[in-house]
Chains A and B, each alone.
Chain A
Amino acid sequence: MTGCILAIETSCDDTCAAVVTVDGELLSNRIASQGLLHARYGGVVPEVASRRHLEVIDAVTADALEAAGITLADVDTVAVTRGPGLIGALLVGVSSAKALAAARGLPLVPVDHLHGHVVSATLGPDPIEPPYLCLVASGGHTFIGRVEDPAHYTVLGETLDDAAGEAFDKGARLLGLGYPGGPALDRLARTGDAQAFRFPRSAPAELDFSFSGLKTALLYRVRDLGEAEAERRRADLAASFQRAIVDALIARVRQAIVCERLERLAIGGGVAANSELRQAMGDLCDELGVRLWVPPPELCTDNAAMIGAAARFTPALPYPEYLDLDATARLA
Chain B
Amino acid sequence: MNILGFDTSGPASAACVLRSDGKAFEHEPRPEALTAPPAHARELMPAIAHCLERARLAFADLDVIAVGVGPGAFTGLRIGVSSARALARARETELRTVSSPAALAAGAGEALSLPLIDAGRGEVFAALFEEGEGRWPPFAADPERVAARVRDEGLDPLATGNGAVRFRDVLEAAGIRVAASGSGTHVVRGLSICRLAAAEPATPPEAVLPDYLRLPDAKPR
Contacts and interface: CB of A to CB of B under 8 A. Distances in A.
A binds B: yes
Interface in B186-214: 205-206, 209-210, 212
A314 B206 CA distance: 31
Contact of B78 (A40, A42, A54): A54
A330 interface: no
Interface in A87-113: 87-88, 91-92, 94-100, 102-105
B6 to A, nearest CB: 11
B87 A95 contact: no
A311 to B, nearest CB: 18
Interface residues of A, number: 36
Contacts of B209: 54-55
A54 B81 CA distance: 8
A265 to B, nearest CB: 37
Contact of B212 (A42, A45, A51, A103): A51
Interface of A: 40-42, 45, 47-48, 50-51, 54-55, 57-59, 62, 72, 87-88, 91-92, 94-100, 102-105, 320, 323-327
Interface string B71-108: 00011001101111111011100000000000000000
A99 B206 contact: no
Main secondary structure of the interface of A (DSSP, over half): helix
Given A41-B221, A102-B59, A95 B42 contact: no
Given A91-B75, A92-B78, 12 more contacts: A41-B221, A45-B218, A58-B89, A62-B89, A72-B90, A99-B87, A100-B89, A100-B90, A103-B91, A104-B59, A320-B46, A324-B43
Interface of B: 39, 41-46, 48-49, 59, 74-75, 78-79, 81-87, 89-91, 205-206, 209-210, 212, 216-221
Nearest to A75: B90
A99 B218 contact: no
B74 A98 contact: no
A88 B73 CA distance: 11
Contacts of A96: 82-83, 85-86
Most buried by B among A91, A96, A97, A100: A96
Contacts of A102: 45, 48-49, 59, 87, 90
A41 B219 CA distance: 6
A58 B83 CA distance: 11
Contacts of A97: 86
A57 B82 contact: yes
B57 to A, nearest CB: 12
Which 7 pairs show the lowest CB-CB distances between chains A and B? A103-B90, A99-B86, A47-B216, A323-B45, A45-B218, A95-B82, A42-B221
A235 B42 CA distance: 51
A98 B87 CA distance: 9
B65 to A, nearest CB: 9
Contacts of B44: 95
16 contacts: A48-B216, A54-B78, A54-B82, A58-B89, A72-B89, A72-B90, A92-B78, A92-B82, A96-B83, A98-B45, A98-B86, A100-B90, A103-B86, A324-B42, A324-B45, A325-B42
A47 B90 contact: no
B217 A47 contact: yes
A48 B206 CA distance: 18
A58 B205 contact: yes
A87 to B, nearest CB: 8
Contacts of A57: 82
Contacts of A47: 74, 216-218
B216 A323 contact: no
